Structure 1
Amino acid sequence: MDSLSRTLEKLEKDNKKKGSVKQVPLDGCVPFSHQVAGHKCGINNTGVLQHPDGTILKQLQPPPRGPREMHFYTQVYAKDCTDTRLMDLQQHLPKFYGTWAPRETPNELYLKLEDVTKRFLRPCIMDVKIGKRSYDPFASQEKRKEQISKYPLMEEIGFLLLGMRVYQIDSDSYITHDQFYGRSLGKDTIKNGLTRFFHNGQDLQRHAVSLIISKIRSILRWFESQTQLHFYASSLLLVYEGSPRTVNGWKHKRAEIGREHQQGEPQSNCNKPREALSVQGSLTHSHPYCHERNANGMCVGSVEVEHEEIGMGDKKQFGQEAVEVKMIDFAHVFPSNSPDEGYMFGLRNLLSTLEQILKD
Structure 2
Amino acid sequence: MSPALEVLMQAEGASYGKGVMLEPFVHQVGGHSCVLRFGEQTICKPLIPREHQFYKSLPPEMRKFTPQYKGVVSVSFEEDEEGNLCLVAYPLHTEPGDLENKDPSSDCEPKTKMLKWSNKKQAPLLVDNDNYSKERARHSRKEDKLVSYNREDAQQQQAEVLYFSLEKSSMSPQIKHNPWSLKCHQQHLQRMRENAKQRNQYKFILLENLTWRYKVPCVLDLKMGTRQHGDDATEEKKANQIRKCQQSTSASIGVRLCGMQVYQSDSGQLMFMNKYHGRKLTLAGFKEALFQFFHDGRRLRRELLSPVLRRLRDMKAALEACESYRFYSSSLLIIYDGDPPRSRPRPRGGEEGEDEPSDEEDPEVDVRMIDFAHTTCRHYGEDSVVHEGQDSGFIFGLQNLISIISQLEDHSAD
Pick the TM interval, shorter chain.
0.5 to 0.7
Q: Which residue of 2 aligns with 1:37?
A: 30
| Structure 2 counterpart of 1:148, from 220, 227, 242 | 242
The 4+ residue runs of structure 1 with deviation greater than 3 A are 103-107, 314-318
* Structure 1: unaligned runs, 5 residues or longer: 1-25, 41-46, 61-65, 77-85, 249-313
Does the CA contact (< 8 Å) of 1:316 and 1:322 recur in 2?
Answer: no
Q: What are the superposed Cα offsets for residues 282-323 of structure 1, whole Å, 9 maximum, x if unpaired? A: xxxxxxxxxxxxxxxxxxxxxxxxxxxxxxxx899931x510
Amino acid in the other structure paired with 1:327: M
Q: Which residue of 1 aligns with 2:397?
A: 346
Distance 2:40 2:61 in 1: 27
Q: Which residue of 1 aligns with 2:334?
A: 238
Distance change (3 Å), C-alpha of 1:317 and 1:119: farther
Amino acid in the other structure paired with 1:198: F
Measured after TM superposition, the shift of residue 56 of structure 1 is 0.3
Q: What are the superposed Cα offsets for residues 195-224 of structure 1, whole Å, 9 maximum, x if unpaired? A: 111111111111112211111111000011
After superposition, residues 299-314 of structure 1 pair within 5 angstroms as none
Q: Report the RMSD for the aligned CA atoms in angstroms.
A: 2.2
1:49 is aligned to 2:49: no
Q: What are the superposed Cα offsets for residues 34-65 of structure 1, whole Å, 9 maximum, x if unpaired? A: 1101237xxxxxx21101353101112xxxxx
| Structure 2 counterpart of 1:327, from 364, 369, 374 | 369
1:97 is aligned to 2:70: yes
Measured after TM superposition, the shift of residue 155 of structure 1 is 1.8
Amino acid in the other structure paired with 2:21: G
1:213 is aligned to 2:309: yes
Q: Which residue of 1 aligns with 2:143?
A: none
TM-score by length of 2: 0.57
Distance 1:142 1:171 in 2: 44
Q: Which residue of 2 aligns with 1:358?
A: 409
| Structure 2 counterpart of 1:166, from 232, 256, 262 | 262
| Structure 2 counterpart of 1:73, from 27, 47, 55 | 55
1:157 is aligned to 2:130: no
Q: Which residue of 2 aligns with 1:88?
A: 61
- Equivalenced residue count is 249
Q: Which residue of 2 aligns with 1:188?
A: 284
Q: Which residue of 1 aligns with 2:233?
A: 139
Measured after TM superposition, the shift of residue 225 of structure 1 is 1.6
Does the CA contact (< 8 Å) of 2:44 and 2:207 recur in 1?
Answer: yes
Distance 2:233 2:389 in 1: 20
Greater relative contact order, per chain length (Cα 8 Å cut-off, separation 6+): 1
Of residues 94-103 and 218-227 in structure 1, the stretch that sits farther from structure 2 once superposed is 94-103
Distance change (3 Å), C-alpha of 1:39 and 1:151: same
Distance 1:315 1:359 in 2: 18
Measured after TM superposition, the shift of residue 353 of structure 1 is 1.0
SS in 1 for 2:283: coil
* Structure 2: unaligned runs, 5 residues or longer: 1-18, 79-108, 111-200, 345-356, 378-386
SS in 1 for 2:20: coil
Amino acid in the other structure paired with 2:203: L
Does the CA contact (< 8 Å) of 1:131 and 1:154 recur in 2?
Answer: yes
Q: Which residue of 1 aligns with 2:180?
A: none
Does the CA contact (< 8 Å) of 1:212 and 1:324 recur in 2?
Answer: yes
Distance 1:75 1:159 in 2: 26
Measured after TM superposition, the shift of residue 158 of structure 1 is 0.1
Amino acid in the other structure paired with 1:111: I
Does the CA contact (< 8 Å) of 1:223 and 1:340 recur in 2?
Answer: yes
1:126 is aligned to 2:235: no
Distance 2:44 2:281 in 1: 31
Amino acid in the other structure paired with 1:239: I
Normalized per residue, which structure has more helix?
2
Amino acid in the other structure paired with 2:217: P
Distance 1:109 1:315 in 2: 46
Measured after TM superposition, the shift of residue 178 of structure 1 is 0.4
Does the CA contact (< 8 Å) of 2:319 and 2:391 recur in 1?
Answer: yes
Q: What are the superposed Cα offsets for residues 79-138 of structure 1, whole Å, 9 maximum, x if unpaired? A: xxxxxxx11110111111011123667431111000011111111101001111111233
Distance 1:157 1:324 in 2: 22
Distance 1:139 1:34 in 2: 29
Measured after TM superposition, the shift of residue 226 of structure 1 is 2.1
Distance 2:319 2:69 in 1: 21
Amino acid in the other structure paired with 1:349: N
Measured after TM superposition, the shift of residue 140 of structure 1 is 2.9
Does the CA contact (< 8 Å) of 2:40 and 2:212 recur in 1?
Answer: no
Distance 1:122 1:315 in 2: 19
TM-score by length of 1: 0.65
Does the CA contact (< 8 Å) of 1:101 and 1:109 recur in 2?
Answer: yes
Measured after TM superposition, the shift of residue 156 of structure 1 is 1.4
SS in 2 for 1:51: strand
Q: Matched residues, percent identical?
A: 35
